[in-house]
Amino acid sequence: MKKIISTEKAPKAIGPYSQAVEANGTLYISGQVPLVAETMQLVEGGIKEQTERVMQNIGAILEAAGYTFANVVKSTCLLSDMSNFAAMNEVYGKYYTENQPARAAFAVKGLPLNALIEIETVAVK
């Protein structure tokens, strides 16, 4: 059985999808871009600020579903430019200091709202 997860502490979906779906002890978090939940505007700043906002949004969704970053088993990071990889990695690494999840990182042609980064996440209890 699937359960839709939603929280006001993370940006509302900007399309026909849920913030996250939980099924059989696994949480699938939709790709998060660096929107500020209260304003639905991109956070100001560069890749570090945008990555920090994305991770905060993921954290809010994890918390709403009863998970933590320790439950994350897989992340997929989409970057608008691979030259941002090192700076993104620096911020991302603050959230996974041990038992890091599996991860893939790709450069893509474009992201929603011209964001510099989008991260989707899978967590398991």
Q: What is the dihedral of CA 111, 114, 116, 118, to 10 degrees?
A: -40
Q: What would the mean pLDDT of 9-27 be, rounded to a whole number? A: 96
Q: Which CATH number fits domain 2-124: 3.90.550.10, 3.20.20.70, 3.30.1330.40, 3.40.50.920?
A: 3.30.1330.40
| pLDDT-based confidence at residue 4 (cuts at 50, 70, 90) | very high
User: Tokens representing 82?
Assistant: 């691979």
Q: What would the mean pLDDT of 85-94 be, rounded to a whole number? A: 98
The pLDDT score that the predictor gives to residue 48 is 98
Q: What would the mean pLDDT of 97-124 be, rounded to a whole number? A: 96
The pLDDT score that the predictor gives to residue 14 is 86
Helix (H) or strand (E) holding 20: strand 20-23
Strands (E), 33-109: 35-36, 41-42, 72-79, 102-107
Tell me which amino acid residue 64 is.
Answer: A
Q: Which of 38, 35, 36, 1 is nearest to 21 (CA)?
A: 1
| Residue 40, number of CB atoms within 10 A of its CB | 11
Whole-structure pTM over 0.95, yes or no? yes
The domain segmentation of the chain, as residue ranges, is 2-124
The rounded mean pLDDT for the chain is: 97
